[in-house]
Structures are given as structure tokens and as C-alpha cells.
């Protein structure tokens, strides 16, 4: 196999790895064992155990064979093979892959083009909630300008941007992340990395925004048009966006639990957290673009990040997924309405126009409003903070006419759970603009499920 050496790490050619016999055997065995599993990852049907043991043997042998193809991952590959064999010999109960997970540390070698194979029982965010075995072959994307940003003011040692090479059924979905917390394991370790598939993000962005701009008759600026015409450029842009977004979850004036997702609370709070991180990335991109001493490559991508965030948020997010507590969708609706109500986005004569020179300051004003809400949070009781967050959203978006939150018909003397239960599944319905746009966009958005750079043409 032809290989190259980079920083003393062997990087396999992706074309070779995708066709390697070890990969093809692992992929086929994973595809065959998945139907035998139930939601928690176990195989309770003892009649299926004989077949499952043969499949596990194939997977474990394939993982061991990959130590020659990916020697930098030998510790993980051998640990995963051992975890699979232990799962089989102990009767296919709920799988435990903590040892393998602890051995997989991709954040230690962020080298552009470095390939990895991961095989875990896991669920896939925006894909499946079942902890089935998944196999994913991918490579790291680490452009020089991103390395420069990360080494400077945007340090994020846990962030690993990646690109699909091949995958099993759980990733033939909308899932664009590989997170360690999704793996089946006996205890929760300290997580040391998080990976995002930039190629999927970029590919679906390009397809959706191209269609949406044509439907709305939006005249795209030259920079935005470049993103739609160039997959590699779009991938690099999303990596910069993700780098800053990801680190923002732990930075700023935050509520005590900045992630919030592990608590049961109204979904509009998750909307504000994700939007806060995106708008911080937007704010930093504006700053880098405006500074005269910014490196030319970074400055160019900082310009592109602004369009990526804006268009992904207002065109794809509101129309993707169901209307059941869709917090990313709500964040996109809020940004669109904010731009419209601040008179920089216009829907006139059945065409969408945007005052580009004025957009950055208006977007940053929304970021300021969310940041101020967060700053106030540590002085407020939980339910008071929830109510203030609702007011921030409701000042721009019209609540559902049936909403109890909108008229404060809430059990304020009971536990917070009752307030969460009172939030409607679609607390802030789509506007007439989005209802009409959805009818023309739903097919395009559905077509991006499972998309990669190779299938994005």
C-alpha cells in the first residue's frame, strides 16, 4: 500500500483503505450483526448467538488486520477486538466498550489526511437512538490555517474535524458527528475528544442553499457563491466555524451547567445555547475579517464563515427534522426573524434581498442579547431564568396561539418539571414564509440524508 509520512504518523491513502479486504469484511459483518441487536445493543435471542459469534470473530480479525494499515491506532484496534470477543464470550449482554474507547485518542495526532477506523456499539445523533454496532472509516481534516487558529486565540484541544471515507447504516442518515458519549460502556469517563464530519456539513449546505437561493431569488454575493461551487473550500469553512463553536460551550458568562442538554428543561434553552455558540463564531469571524493584520488565508475563510452560518441557520435549520421540540430549527427561525425585524432582510415582490453591509452588526446585536441573558442568569432562580429566556425569544417570534407560556398560565409554585411539560412540542410554529418555503424545499433537504463529499455532486 502506498503511504506517506507526516510528523512521524503513517497516513494511509483513503482509496486503498476503502477497498481493503479487512474493511470490506468488517463492514459486511457489522451490517449482518446489527439486525440481531435490540435497542440497548444486546442480543437477547440465544438462537442468534452462534451466528453472532462468527460475525464477532470476523470483526475482531478485521480490527487486528487493520493494525498493519493504521499502526498509529494499534492500541485502539486491539482493545476493540478484545471488547468484541469479551462481549461474545459473556453472552451478548449490554455491550461494554470502555476499554476500547479509552484507547482511541484521535485528538493527539491531528494530521491532515490521517485515517482512522472506529467500530463501536453506539447510537448516532440525528440518526438512530439504538446502540447498534457501527463501523466508520474516516480521515482527519486539519488545514494549515485551522492549525494556526487553534494554536493561537482559538485553542480547542478536544476538537477533531473529519471526513467520511465509508460507513455502515447508522451513518447513512443526517448524523454528522462522532462523539464518545454515544458509545456503550460500563461507566462515563472524562471525554477527551469530539469529532465532526465537515464534509457532510459542507455537502448538505451546498445543496440546500443552492436550492433555497434559487427558490427565493436571492442574489448571492461572490464569496457565498464560491462556497456553493467548491466542496473543499466549504469543508474548510465549516471546520473553522466548528472549531470556534465547539470551544464556546465552555466559555463566556454561562449558567452553572453550560451544556444544559443533560438536564430536563424547555427546549428553547437548548436553542439559545446552540445559537449563542454559532453567533460567537460569527462574531469572531467578523473580528478576524475586519482586522488588518489577519493572515490572508484566515481572513478569506473568516469572510466565508459568516455566509456559512447565516445561510445554514436561516435556510436549512428551520426546515430540517420534525416540529417536535426542534431546538436547532427554532434558532434558525429566530435569526431569520431578527434580521427581518431589524430591516436588513427583506421579502419584497416575492424575492429575498439582504443588505449585506449591515448584516454583521445586526447579527452581533442578537449575540449581545443572548450573552446578556446568560450574564444575568447566575443572579436569577432557575424558573425566572427560563421565563426571561422565553421572553427573549417571544419578543421576536410569535408563540403558538395555544401556548400557556405565552400568557403565563403556568404552575409557578410547582417543580420546574411542570413548566417543561407545559411547553408545546411546537411552541413557536413556522411563519407563513417558512411554511411556503418548506413545500418547495422538503425534497431537497430529505435528499441530503447520508450525503458525503463523494455523493454531493
The domain of 266 spans 201-446
**Coil, helix or strand at residue 163:** strand
Per-residue confidence (pLDDT) for residue 457, from 0 to 100:
64
Q: What is the pLDDT of residues 291-346, one digit of tens each?
A: 999 999 999 999 999 999 999 999 999 999 999 999 999 999 999 999 999 999 99
Is the four-CA dihedral 219, 223, 224, 227 of positive or negative sign? Answer: positive
- For residue 123, is pLDDT > 70? yes
Residues 214, 173 within the same domain: no
- Report d(CA 374, CA 430) in Å as an integer: 26
Picking from 92-96, 160-164, 259-263, 428-432, which range would have the lowest pLDDT averaged per residue? 259-263
**Coil, helix or strand at residue 418:** helix
**Is residue 84 domain-resident?**
yes
CB 172 within 8 A of CB 29: no
**Which has the higher per-residue pLDDT, 65 or 261?**
65
- Report d(CA 28, CA 26) in Å as an integer: 6
- Report d(CA 355, CA 342) in Å as an integer: 11
* Of 214, 127, 118, the residue nearest 166 (C-alpha): 118
- For residue 45, is pLDDT > 90? yes
Residues 6+ apart with CB under 8 A from 455: 203
CA 410 to chain centre: 33
Per-residue confidence (pLDDT) for residue 262, from 0 to 100:
54
**Is residue 452 domain-resident?**
no
Cell 473529519 -> residue: 162
CB 201 within 8 A of CB 453: no
Residues 68, 164 within the same domain: yes
- For residue 443, is pLDDT > 90? yes
Residues 307, 410 within the same domain: yes
Residues 167, 247 within the same domain: no
Q: How many residues can be counted in the chain?
A: 457
Residues 208, 175 within the same domain: no
CB 159 within 8 A of CB 107: yes
Residues 64, 106 within the same domain: yes
Per-residue confidence (pLDDT) for residue 4, from 0 to 100:
37
Band (pLDDT 50/70/90 cuts) for residue 97 is: very high
**Is residue 91 domain-resident?**
yes
Q: What is the CA radius of gyration of the chain?
A: 23
**Is residue 455 domain-resident?**
no
**Which has the higher per-residue pLDDT, 438 or 456?**
438
Residues 424, 281 within the same domain: yes
Per-residue confidence (pLDDT) for residue 264, from 0 to 100:
79
**Is residue 457 domain-resident?**
no
Q: What is the pLDDT of residues 237-256, one digit of tens each?
A: 999 999 999 998 888 877 76
Cell output for 307? 455566509
Residues 318, 301 within the same domain: yes
Q: Packing angle between helix 296-311 and helix 359-377, nearest 10 degrees?
A: 80
Q: In the listed set 147, 170, 192, which residue is the last one of a domain according to the structure?
A: 192
Cell output for 227? 462556497
Q: Do β-strands 115-124 and 345-348 pair in parallel, antiparallel, or remain unpaired?
A: unpaired
Band (pLDDT 50/70/90 cuts) for residue 12 is: very low
CA 106 to chain centre: 17
**Is residue 451 domain-resident?**
no
**Is residue 454 domain-resident?**
no
Q: What is the pLDDT of residues 176-213, one digit of tens each?
A: 999 999 999 999 999 999 999 999 999 999 999 999 99
Q: In the listed set 162, 192, 222, which residue is the last one of a domain according to the structure?
A: 192
What's the whole-model pTM score?
Answer: 0.93
What is the rounded average pLDDT of the residues 116-126?
Answer: 95
Residues 236, 366 within the same domain: yes
Which stretches of 104-187 are DSSP H helices? 144-151
* Of 275, 258, 363, 387, the residue nearest 327 (C-alpha): 275
CB 261 within 8 A of CB 270: yes
- For residue 111, is pLDDT > 70? yes
Q: How many domains does the chain have?
A: 2
Residues 165, 207 within the same domain: no
- Report d(CA 447, CA 186) in Å as an integer: 37
**Is residue 456 domain-resident?**
no
CB 184 within 8 A of CB 123: no
Q: In the listed set 192, 210, 240, which residue is the last one of a domain according to the structure?
A: 192
Residues 127, 273 within the same domain: no
Q: What is the pLDDT of residues 250-306, one digit of tens each?
A: 888 777 665 554 557 899 999 999 999 999 999 999 999 999 999 999 999 999 999
Residues 208, 333 within the same domain: yes
Amino acid at each position: 500500500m502506498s503511504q506517506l509520512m507526516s510528523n512521524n504518523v503513517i497516513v494511509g491513502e483513503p482509496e486503498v483503505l476503502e477497498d481493503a479486504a479487512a474493511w470490506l469484511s468488517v463492514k459486511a459483518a457489522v451490517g449482518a450483526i446489527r439486525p440481531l441487536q435490540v435497542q440497548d445493543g444486546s442480543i437477547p435471542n440465544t438462537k442468534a448467538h452462534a451466528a453472532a459469534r462468527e460475525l464477532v470473530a470476523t470483526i475482531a480479525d478485521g480490527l487486528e488486520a487493520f493494525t498493519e494499515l493504521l499502526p498509529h491506532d494499534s492500541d485502539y484496534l486491539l482493545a476493540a477486538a478484545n471488547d468484541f470477543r469479551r462481549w461474545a464470550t459473556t453472552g451478548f449482554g449490554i455491550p461494554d466498550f470502555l476499554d476500547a474507547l479509552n484507547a482511541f485518542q484521535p485528538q493527539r495526532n491531528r494530521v491532515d489526511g490521517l485515517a482512522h477506523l472506529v467500530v463501536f456499539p453506539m447510537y448516532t445523533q440525528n440518526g438512530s437512538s439504538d446502540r447498534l454496532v457501527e463501523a466508520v472509516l474516516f480521515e482527519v481534516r486539519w488545514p494549515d490555517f485551522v492549525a494556526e487558529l487553534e494554536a493561537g486565540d482559538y485553542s480547542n484541544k478536544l476538537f477533531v474535524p473529519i471526513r467520511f471515507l465509508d460507513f455502515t447504516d447508522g451513518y447513512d442518515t443526517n448524523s454528522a458527528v462522532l462523539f464518545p458519549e454515544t458509545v456503550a460502556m460500563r461507566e462515563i469517563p472524562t471525554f477527551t475528544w469530539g469529532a465532526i464530519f465537515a464534509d457532510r456539513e459542507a455537502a448538505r449546505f451546498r445543496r440546500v442553499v443552492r436550492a433555497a437561493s434559487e427558490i427565493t431569488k436571492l442574489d448571492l454575493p461572490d464569496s457565498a457563491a464560491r462556497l456553493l461551487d467548491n466542496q473543499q473550500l466549504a469543508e474548510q469553512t465549516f471546520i473553522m466555524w466548528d472549531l470556534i463553536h465547539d470551544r464556546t460551550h465552555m466559555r463566556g458568562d454561562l449558567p452553572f451547567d453550560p451544556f444544559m442538554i443533560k438536564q430536563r428543561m424547555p427546549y428553547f434553552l437548548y436553542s439559545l445555547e446552540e445559537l449563542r455558540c454559532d453567533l460567537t463564531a460569527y462574531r469572531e469571524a467578523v473580528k478576524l475579517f475586519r482586522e488588518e493584520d489577519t493572515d490572508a488565508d484566515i481572513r478569506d475563510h473568516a469572510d466565508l464563515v459568516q455566509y456559512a452560518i447565516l445561510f445554514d441557520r436561516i435556510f436549512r435549520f428551520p426546515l430540517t427534522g420534525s416540529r417536535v421540540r426542534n431546538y436547532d430549527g427554532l434558532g434558525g427561525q429566530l435569526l431569520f426573524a431578527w434580521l427581518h425585524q431589524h430591516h436588513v432582510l427583506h421579502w419584497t415582490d416575492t424575492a429575498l434581498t439582504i443588505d449585506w453591509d449591515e448584516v454583521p452588526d445586526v447579527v452581533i446585536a442578537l449575540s449581545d442579547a443572548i450573552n446578556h441573558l446568560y450574564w444575568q442568569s447566575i443572579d436569577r432562580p432557575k424558573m425566572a431564568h427560563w421565563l426571561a429566556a422565553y421572553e427573549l425569544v417571544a419578543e421576536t417570534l410569535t408563540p403558538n396561539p395555544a401556548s400557556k407560556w405565552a400568557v403565563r398560565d403556568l404552575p409557578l409554585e410547582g417543580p420546574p418539571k411542570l413548566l417543561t411539560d407545559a411547553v408545546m412540542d411546537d411552541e413557536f410554529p413556522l411563519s407563513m414564509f417558512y411554511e411556503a418555503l418548506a413545500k418547495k424545499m422538503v425534497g431537497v433537504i430529505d435528499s441530503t440524508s447520508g450525503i458525503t463529499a463523494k455523493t454531493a455532486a
